[in-house]
Each structure stands twice: as structure tokens, then as C-alpha cells.
Structure 1
Amino acid sequence: MATILVACSVFVGIGFVADFLLGGHQYKQGDWLINTLNQPVRRGPMGSTLIWLSDQMGVGLLEITILVQLGLYLILPITYWRLARRADFAPSALLLALSPAMYFLLWAAVAGAAARKEIFAIAALLLIGLYIVERRSWLLVSATVLLAVGAWGHLVNVMVLPIAAAVLAMPIVLQASHLREPAEVRGFARLDMAALVFLATNGGVATLYAIVYSSVPSVSAICAPLLERGLGPEICDGAISWLTLNSAKGAPLVADRYSSYSHLTRSFLMMFFGFLPLGYLLARLPKEAFQAPLTRGRAIAIIAALSLPILPLYLVAEDWERWIAFHVFCATVFFLLSLHLDLIRLSPRLERQIL
């Protein structure tokens, strides 16, 4: 497993090096450099912070942006590897995690997706999963910081809060079902509740800010600080250019693109093959593999419910493959924790049947 995770990380790292050599990518770095130095705009506080760090540290703006992105990305394979090991992966579960359904490979296949801002939510959910497994408070604190910061960069990091709450609730559901002793599970402790209340408050303020300052008449004021710091004008041709559109204007563009049969077909195929390994595994598992209160039907319902919070993004954002990858990721985290919490048991006999 470690070899494949390292290989995927190297592949993504090469992409970051290419971005640096080309002077920055209009989406991969451009989205992060939306700023409020000249006027308030949604997603701007994060870019303003990166500009401030660059100025204070005397490091180039592109360099500091890529270093932050790379640091965030490295959380993913390290945390996932630890979570998978603690789940005592059986062979079929290992095949599932390393299949094209897993987000590492999906992100490698989607140009630029490894550097988009849902990386905050991805890393935070993995840290929360590891927090449930290892019961270390700093893991939840770290996840809370990531989601709080990420909320000011992209609202997907606010939409993910119900998913984070659902993940935190898994142990308490077991305790309520009298299937675990209190000492053996991690319920909604004070830190859990404090983190969720803080994130809900922070997310509400970030959402209100994004609604009030949803668009700008021209991106020249956003681009000016970037050009002054040595970046080329092409950095403004991607994510920054979308700032002239609010959700009401962006939705028709999305509808027009996906009225094309080819785009719809590609998205359907990504969804189908993305969920195929997990769907196959859940279909092949016999009834006795699911432990109360989890059943096959409930597992499918939970996976479907985990997809609901970010569905609005399909209406206003063109890159559906990112949201599909996120659905598959959430399902995989649920599967990992179900193994760890003994909600799904894979005996050697079941392994042979599945494989």
C-alpha cells in the first residue's frame, strides 16, 4: 500500500513542479490567489493571507502557494495509510482502497484536482477518522483548523460539516445501541461538540460573506496585486475570471455544458466506475458480514446520504469530476471506519468468496 501511495504522491508532486516552472496554473494556483487587497470578494481572505505570508517571509508568492498546497496534500497519503493500517485491512478491503475508486488515483487522473480547495475537507475528514481510531485530541483540533480556514476559500468546506458530524456520530450510535462499552468508543465529547459549534458558526459567517460579495464587475483589482508580485497575466484567466459571475449567472453555463451528451456520458461513467469496487463489495458481502445496527440497506443509504450536502455544487460548477471524486472518498472513509468499529466483519471465508 505504501508504495502505491508514494507513487501517487510523486505523480502529484511532479504536477506541482510543472506548475512552478510554467509560472503558475490559472486554476490550481489562481483559485488560491483570489484576494481582497483592493476589494472584498468571495474566496478572497485566503489569497490575502498567502500574499501577506509571501511579503512577510520574503518568499515568492507562487513558491509559498505551491509549498502550502504540497504540505496539505502530504497529509492525505500519510493519514490515509495510518487509518487503513489501524482498520486491519483484509485483502479485499485493500483492493478496494487501491482501486481507481480511491481519491488518490481519481485526483491523479483529473488534471489539477489535487490542488483544489476541497483538499481542506479531504484532509480534515481523514484526520477526524483517525481521531476516532486513535482518540487523540490534536487530530480533531487540526481537522477543525483546516475546515475553518478552508471555509473562507471555498464553500465546499462548509457543506462538508454534516458529513463530519456523521463521521463523529458513528461511535455514539454504537454506544446508544448498547453494542459497545462507553470506554471502548468515542462519542460526542465536549471537544467534539465545541468543534462542531465553532465550525458551524465560522461556516455561517463565511457563507454570508460569500453571498454578499459573490462577484465583481471586473477582475482587474484582483489581478493587480498578483501582477505586482511577478506573476503573469494568464494567472487571471481561469478561476479568477469566474468572479465576474455569481451563482445565478454560472448555473446557465453549467446547464449548457452538460446538455451535451458527451459530457453527461463521461460523468456517468466516472460515477459508475468510481463506485463499482465498493458497490461490488457491498453486493457480494453476505448478510452475516454486517453487524447490528448496520445492515446492507443502511450502508447503502448512509453512502447516498453522505453525497447530499455537496449536491448544490453540481448546479453552479462545471467540474463535476471533482464532486464525484469527493463522493467516492466519503464512501471509502465510511467503509474504513465500519471495518475499524467492527460494523463490517470480513472473515477468511468471506475473503475467499469475494476474491
Structure 2
Amino acid sequence: MPFSLRALLGSLALGLSMNAVAATDWPPAGKAVQIVVPAPAGGGTGDSIARMIAEGLSKELGGNFVIDNHGGANGNIGAGIAAAAKPDGSKLLFSWAGTLAVSPALYTKLQFDPQKSFDMIGLVAEVPNILVVSPTLPVDSVKSFAEYVKKHPGQVNFGSTGNGSSMHLAGELFMAQTGTNMLHIPYSAPGQATTNLITGEIQAMFQLIPGIVGQVKAGQVKALAVTSAKRAATLPDVPTTAEQGYPELLSSTWFALLAPKGTAPEIIERANQALNKVLAQPEIKEKLANLGATTLGGTPAQADALLNSELKKWSKIVKDAGISVQ
């Protein structure tokens, strides 16, 4: 064998060996693994869940996983920073449906591609939207609400936290599924939207459960349906859209852990196994349930499948509704 070829093969073998060692030794001793969260510290449910997962991974793997917050642009800034990181396991991304599955349809210029820039480690949890209406509205189900909206086209206002938000897109999905027409009212302050719903200035919201569970339990708003296949543990008496004959009316904010594209498969597998062990812990399940979230977990392939499905689904909704944030 020519010397140059032997040298090349030797260097390749050495490289593979080093990669294997690096993967086996991950997370590295004495060095923190940063988990980028594309939201400000204390910035809601996503940040809370990310910190829970970081603590769990630290205990499970014996490493040091720390949160690195980068808020702004609906999560796009943080995701872009994670996408540019070296694929060596030193930096991961904890992100969610809005940034990963909706932003590509809303923004023409992104510093990342959810499928080309990252390798999925696994799904973490999901928080479904919930259809809530003003207590004065004479409806008690998804069907009766749809019938009411049809009788009052363009006269029913639904509030959200902004153009392209989960609440907005859930409302657009509802209209597409039921053939109805409502007026979207975007708010910059979620609290004001909730107040206006209680007083009847707007008639409906597709809130995320953590943001409205207190008002539902207090009877200040009427909860018609959770937009998911399973009921929420925090509101077990509220039926799902699927139960009420709308199996395609599903909308939730799901959360996932990802790594920069090209990260060693051994690291992905080790991180996935640890993540699933963390999510299987009863105390973690309870903490997530208290946040209005349902534990997910599973394989990287299952996470990939969900992302692919969600990208297609929300791209169509955004295009058909003509939604733009620029």
C-alpha cells in the first residue's frame, strides 16, 4: 500500500477514534454544556422547562448543563446562535414549535433552517392551546361556538399575543377547519387580552393552558375544548377537540432538545437516553403537569417526524391566511 494512502487511512482512523472517545466521554469533565434557550431568563413556560431539563441532565449524566438565554425575534436569534455553534456537544438548543415549525413560514430571512441546521435529540413536552370564550357567550361546545360564529361572520373577535403567535395560528386553524370567519385582535400584553375576554370586549381566545387555567377554575371564562388528542391533567373536565368531532383541530406548543447539525451520533444517542430517563421521573412529570404540560420523550426519529409534519401544517395555514410579521 502506498505510504500516502496508508497515512490518509491512518489519519481517518485516528479521527474516528478521537470522535468516538469524545462521544464516550461526553459531557466533558470540568466543562459546562450550554443549552441555548431563545427567550429571556424567566421568560415563561419554555425557560422554566429548559431549566428543569438542564438540572435533570446534570444529575443523570454527571455533567454541568447550564442555560444560555438569548431572547428576541420570536426565538430566531437564539436558534441562529445555536445553529452556528460547533457540533461537538458543547452547545445544545432547547426550542419550541413557534421558532422551529412556524418561523420558516413567517420570516424570509433566518440564520437557521430547523431541519438542515440541527439534529433532533428528542421531544420534551407539549402545552396545548385551549379554546376559551367570554362567559356571556351563549355557547358550550366547539360545535355550538362554530355555529355561533357562522351566524355572526366577522363579528366575533379573538385575541392573541401577536401576529403569528400560537394563539393566532390556533384561531386561524379553527376558522380553516370550521369554515368560519372571526376578527383577529393582537395584543402586546397577554394580561390585557385575558381581562378583555373576561369583560366581553373580545369573545374568544385560543390561550395556552398555563396562561388561563386560573380564570377557568374561577369561572371567569368558559373553557370549550383543549386542542389536543388527550385531556390536560390540570383541567381534566375540559373535553378535547378530538372528542368533540374535530380530530384535525390540534394546536400546541411543543418543546424539543436539539444539537447543531453534524454532532456525533453517539452524543445524540447518549443525550436522548438521558433525556428520556429524566422525563420518566415521577417528579418531573408532576412538575411539567403543574405547568400545564404533557411529557413527551421518544426517539430522535419521532421528533423529526413531528417537526416535518408541523412545518407542512403551519406553512399552509400561514400562506392561506396571508399572515406576515415583516
Is TM (by shorter chain) over 0.5? no
| Structure with the greater alpha carbon radius of gyration | 2
With the length of structure 2 as denominator, give the TM-score of the two structures: 0.28
With the length of structure 1 as denominator, give the TM-score of the two structures: 0.27
Which has the larger share of strand? 2
